[in-house]
Amino acid sequence: MNRRLLLGSADDLTVQRVSSVAEELGDELVHVSATSAEVADAVAGFQPDVLIVSETLGPIPVLDLIRQIARQDPFVGILLLSSTSDPELFRVAMEAGARSIAPLGFTIDDLGQRIESAAAWAGLVRSHIAGDNARVLGSGHVLALAGSKGGVGTSTIAVHTALEAAAAGRRACLVDLDLQSGDLATLLNITHRRDITDLIGLVGEISAQTLDDVLFRHSSGLSVLLAPREGERGEEITEAVGRAVIGALKSRFDVVVLDLGSVLTPAGASAVEIADRAVLVATPDVLSMRGCRRTAKLWERLRLRPEKDVTVLLNRISRGVEVQPDLAARLARLPISEFGVPAAFRAFEAAANTGEPQRLVDRDTRRALARVAESLGARQPAEPVAATGRRAARKRDAGQAAVELMGLLPLIGILLACLVQGVMIGYSHVLAGQAASAAARVAVSPEYGFGDIEARARAELPGAWQDGAQVTLGGGGGDPRWFDPDSEVTVQVTTPAFIPGVAALFGDALNATSTAQMRFEGRWP
CATH at residue 153: 3.40.50.300
Evaluate if pTM is beyond 0.85: no
CATH at residue 98: 3.40.50.2300
Strands across the sheet containing 511-517: 470-474, 488-494, 511-517
Amino acid identity of residue 174, one-letter, is L
Q: In the 8-state DSSP scheme, what is residue 320?
A: T
DSSP 227-250: PPSSGGGGGG--HHHHHHHHHHHH
Give dist(CA 495, CA 338) in Å, integer: 56
Domain finish residue from 383, 398, 425:
383
Within 8 A by CB and 6+ apart from 40, the residues are: 65, 68, 69, 72, 139
On whether both 48 and 86 belong to a single domain, the answer is yes
Among 502, 478, 497, 481, residue whose Cα is nearest residue 489:
478
Among 260, 258, 263, residue whose Cα is nearest residue 247:
258
Domain span including residue 506: 410-517
On whether both 112 and 232 belong to a single domain, the answer is no
On whether both 337 and 484 belong to a single domain, the answer is no
Give dist(CA 509, CA 425) in Å, integer: 8
Residue 72 · residue 94 · CB < 8 Å: no
Domain finish residue from 134, 157, 191:
134
Domain finish residue from 338, 367, 383:
383
On whether both 375 and 245 belong to a single domain, the answer is yes
Residue 79 · residue 106 · CB < 8 Å: no
Torsion of CA 388, 393, 398, 400, to 10 degrees: 120
- One digit per residue, pLDDT tens: the chain, 525 residues? 567 888 888 888 888 888 888 888 888 888 888 888 788 778 877 778 888 888 888 788 888 888 888 877 777 888 888 887 777 777 888 878 887 888 877 777 778 778 877 877 777 666 555 433 333 333 689 999 999 999 999 999 999 999 999 998 899 999 999 998 888 999 999 888 899 999 888 776 777 778 888 999 999 999 999 999 888 998 899 888 888 899 889 888 999 999 999 999 999 999 999 899 999 999 999 999 999 999 999 999 988 899 999 999 999 988 888 888 888 888 989 999 888 898 888 888 888 888 899 888 888 898 999 999 999 988 764 444 444 444 544 554 555 566 666 777 888 877 887 888 788 888 888 887 887 787 777 666 655 555 677 777 777 788 777 777 787 777 544 454 444 555 777 888 888 877 766 556 666 777 778 877 766 544 443
On whether both 49 and 99 belong to a single domain, the answer is yes
Total domains in the chain come to: 3
Residue 394 lies in a domain: no
Residue 497 lies in a domain: yes
On whether both 116 and 227 belong to a single domain, the answer is no
On whether both 97 and 230 belong to a single domain, the answer is no
On whether both 240 and 362 belong to a single domain, the answer is yes
On whether both 248 and 314 belong to a single domain, the answer is yes
Residue 393 lies in a domain: no
Residue 395 lies in a domain: no
On whether both 349 and 472 belong to a single domain, the answer is no
Q: In the 8-state DSSP scheme, what is residue 225?
A: E
Give dist(CA 311, CA 279) in Å, integer: 5
On whether both 290 and 199 belong to a single domain, the answer is yes
Give dist(CA 486, CA 474) in Å, integer: 8
Residue 24 lies in a domain: yes
Residue 57 · residue 145 · CB < 8 Å: no
Residue 402 lies in a domain: no
On whether both 145 and 222 belong to a single domain, the answer is yes
Residue 258 lies in a domain: yes
Residue 405 lies in a domain: no
**Secondary element (H or E) of residue 278:** strand 277-282
Amino acid identity of residue 114, one-letter, is R
